[in-house]
């Protein structure tokens, strides 16, 4: 598997020459020690990609030639995850795991029992995790959302699922159709969802489901939920 980097001005004409000169290029040269002849992938982060070969390596940039180019279509189901913010580094970990799981949009949520804070660095975290997981589409990370905004997002989703440790319905019993274009998954904080939050979400149309018997950390529950729902919806 080729190493992936992102550029704003992706070259797509096979045979053309391009100067790779951003921070990713600096990383490739100084950290990965790439030399002339190395092949890797470039992407615009929105689905377009090009396979390139380094022809000349300088101190902070390299000249590359486009070998192949294409476009990765989005999946039929758009996955959005609402993540109540955990504390400290666990918030970053949650963004990384959700990105690796393949979600399209991440909405940090300021729930009643959230102890974490929003950060303008979450988008950078998603970008770096996209490189690690070889994603040609970087997920959108929105600004910190309120409970009222989450309720509005539920109303325009085809399927919205709130995961709660006290739920009486299994996830497999709450997914009855594979025809879901817009999926919304809601992950609560370490301290759990309040009764008021659950009532607000269900009245907006969300289903409440149990994600197995073990109680996962908030930062880890998202990737497990996305995996389970993706399998049930035959996204995977």
Asked if residue 146 and residue 212 are part of one domain, the reply reads yes
Q: Which of 34, 50, 71 is the last residue of a domain?
A: 71
Chain Cα centroid distance, residue 67: 28
Domain containing residue 145 = 78-232
Q: At what angle do helices 195-203 and 147-155 cross, to 10 degrees?
A: 30
pLDDT tens, position by position, for the chain (236 residues)? Answer: 799 999 999 999 999 999 999 999 999 999 999 999 999 999 999 999 999 999 999 999 999 999 999 999 999 999 999 999 888 788 899 999 999 999 999 999 988 887 766 667 899 999 999 999 999 999 999 999 999 999 999 999 999 999 988 888 888 888 877 789 999 999 998 888 999 999 999 999 999 998 877 878 889 999 999 999 999 998 88
Instruction: Give DSSP secondary structure letters for 112-155.
Output: TT------TTHHHHHHHHHHHTT-SBPPEE---B-HHHHHHHHH
Is the same domain home to 55 and 171?
A: no
Query: Which of 71, 89, 121 is the last residue in one of the domains?
Result: 71
Please tell me whether residues 112 and 65 are part of one structural domain.
no
- Would you mind telling me the total number of residues written for the chain in this entry? 236
* The token pair that represents 222 in the structure block: 């998202």
- Do 175 and 66 belong together in one domain? no
If asked whether residues 51 and 20 sit together in one domain, one would say yes
Q: Which of 162, 142, 145 is nearest to 203 (CA)?
A: 162
| DSSP structure class, residue 22 | S
Only one residue has tokens 């489901």, namely 209
Q: Are residues 158 and 52 in the same domain?
A: no
Both 29 and 85 in one domain: the answer is no
Do 209 and 107 fall within a single domain? Answer: yes
47: left (phi over 0), alpha (psi -120 to 50) or beta: left
Residues 173 and 144 in one domain: yes
Q: What is the total count of domains within the chain?
A: 2
pTM: 0.90
Answer yes or no: do 136 and 228 share one domain: yes
Query: Which CATH number do you get for residue 153?
Result: 3.40.1280.10
């Amino acid at each position: 598997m080729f190493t992936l980097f992102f550029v704003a001005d992706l070259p797509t004409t096979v045979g053309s020459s391009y100067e790779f000169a951003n921070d990713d290029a600096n990383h490739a040269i100084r950290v990965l020690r790439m030399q002339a002849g190395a092949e890797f992938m470039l992407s615009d982060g929105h689905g377009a990609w090009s396979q390139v070969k380094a022809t000349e390596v300088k101190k902070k940039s390299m000249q590359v030639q486009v070998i192949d180019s294409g476009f990765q279509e989005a999946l039929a189901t758009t996955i959005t995850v609402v993540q109540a913010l955990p504390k400290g580094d666990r918030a970053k970990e949650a963004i990384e795991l959700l990105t690796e799981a393949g979600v399209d949009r991440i909405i940090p949520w300021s729930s009643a029992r959230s102890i974490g804070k929003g950060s303008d660095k979450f988008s950078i975290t998603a970008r770096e995790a996209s490189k690690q997981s070889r994603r040609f589409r970087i997920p959108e990370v929105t600004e910190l959302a309120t409970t009222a905004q989450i309720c509005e997002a539920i109303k325009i989703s085809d399927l919205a699922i709130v995961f709660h440790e006290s739920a009486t319905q299994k996830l497999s019993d709450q997914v009855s159709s594979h025809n879901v274009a817009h999926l919304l998954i809601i992950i609560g904080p370490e301290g759990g969802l309040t009764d008021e939050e659950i009532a607000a979400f269900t009245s907006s149309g969300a289903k409440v489901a149990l994600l197995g018997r073990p109680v996962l950390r908030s930062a880890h529950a998202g990737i497990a939920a996305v995996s389970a729902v993706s399998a049930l919806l035959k996204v995977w």
